Amino acid sequence: SREWHLVARPHGWPKPEDFALRETEVPEPGPGEILVRNLYVSVDPYMRGRMNDAKSYAEPYRLDQPMHGGAVGRVVASGAEGFAPGDHVLHPLGWREYALVKAENVVRVDPGLAPLSTYLGVLGMTGLTAYAGLLRVAGLKEGDAVFVSGAAGAVGSQVGQIARLKGASRVIGSAGSDEKVKLLVEEYGFDAAFNYKNGPVAEQLAAAAPDGIDVYFDNVGGEHLEAAIGALNLHGRVAVCGMIALYNATEPAPGPRNLSRLIQNRLRIEGFLVGDHYDLQPQFVQEVGGWIREGRLHYRETVVDGIENNLEAFLGVLRGDNTGKMLVRLPE
């Protein structure tokens, strides 16, 4: 079985030499353990933070140990009651071909109800992030004008569509290519979208939202956050989900220069972690699952094949190679 190890802590952009794909023996499950053949492995921006030796909400990856992250796969051997070969499960040991998982860390999934890949994306962690961040943290209300950055990604594309379905008056998105911008407007029903690489964010946002915005869902940070604060109307809210523009920075970035607008406009900025919002999971799956079945919420996935391409897929997320959830697919 092959698995990816972190062998050096990246400084700035990760380099291939910081990682190694290593061969290990396929283990036997002991009592309470399950051996899983991974079929889809998730790559996520937060993994960049785990490569640093810094205390954070997620434990840093250990050097010369396998990295981990969300995965779905098929049980091949089980020492745990209630799990049998052929079952499909969601678990936290990605970045490898075979995973030995404790039964208490496994959630059974049904490929007959939804495609396996969606348990990592639109009906999984990134989907719940969009749902909880927009509805609970930002407190979306009917009639709000909503701006979301990273809008063609896994979280962002769902934020914009949920906002539309929940009665936002105007949905605006930003993304890093003209093709992604076109997708936002033509397929996801955004009212306006722009390519942040084409000019200053503040100017492009002002043109896209002439009456300002009430909610900003931040996936990016930096220039985007400052521009959004500048556009927020009275009692505007920001849900801070991620700051991907800063993840490979080697120096702390300057903060928004316009924070005095928080006072004038009684703004609220609140960060959140999806892990605190799993109580919404049943409601989220029911509501979003329904929208998908009815064809009212669309999603894309960018799928890369083979464990040997797991690292490239991860680097691709940081570069913006993906549209929607980025996943690695392994053969049955």
Binding site for ligand NDP (CB under 6 A): 44-46, 126, 129, 150, 152-156, 175-177, 180, 196, 219-220, 241-242, 244-245, 272-274, 317-318, 320, 322, 326
When the beta carbons of 101 and 181 are compared against ligand NDP, the nearer one is 181
Q: How far apart are CA 332 and CA 330, in angstroms?
A: 7
Which residue type sits at 147? F
- Minimum distance between the CB of residue 122 and ligand NDP, rounded to whole angstroms? 11
When the beta carbons of 24 and 248 are compared against ligand NDP, the nearer one is 248
Residue 215 contacts residue 233 (beta carbons within 8 Å): no
- Minimum distance between the CB of residue 238 and ligand NDP, rounded to whole angstroms? 13
When the beta carbons of 251 and 332 are compared against ligand NDP, the nearer one is 251
| Structure tokens that stand for 184 in this block | 């936002």
- Residue 272 exposed, middle or buried by CB count within 10 Å (0-12, 13-18, 19+): middle
Q: Taking the chain, what is the end-to-end CA distance rounded to the nearest angstrom? A: 14
* 178 φ, ψ (degrees, to nearest 5): -65, -35
- Minimum distance between the CB of residue 176 and ligand NDP, rounded to whole angstroms? 3
Q: List C-alpha distances in Å: 277 to 163, 182, 281.
A: 18, 32, 8
Which residue type sits at 236? G
When the beta carbons of 65 and 248 are compared against ligand NDP, the nearer one is 248
- Minimum distance between the CB of residue 29 and ligand NDP, rounded to whole angstroms? 30
- Minimum distance between the CB of residue 139 and ligand NDP, rounded to whole angstroms? 16
When the beta carbons of 225 and 307 are compared against ligand NDP, the nearer one is 225
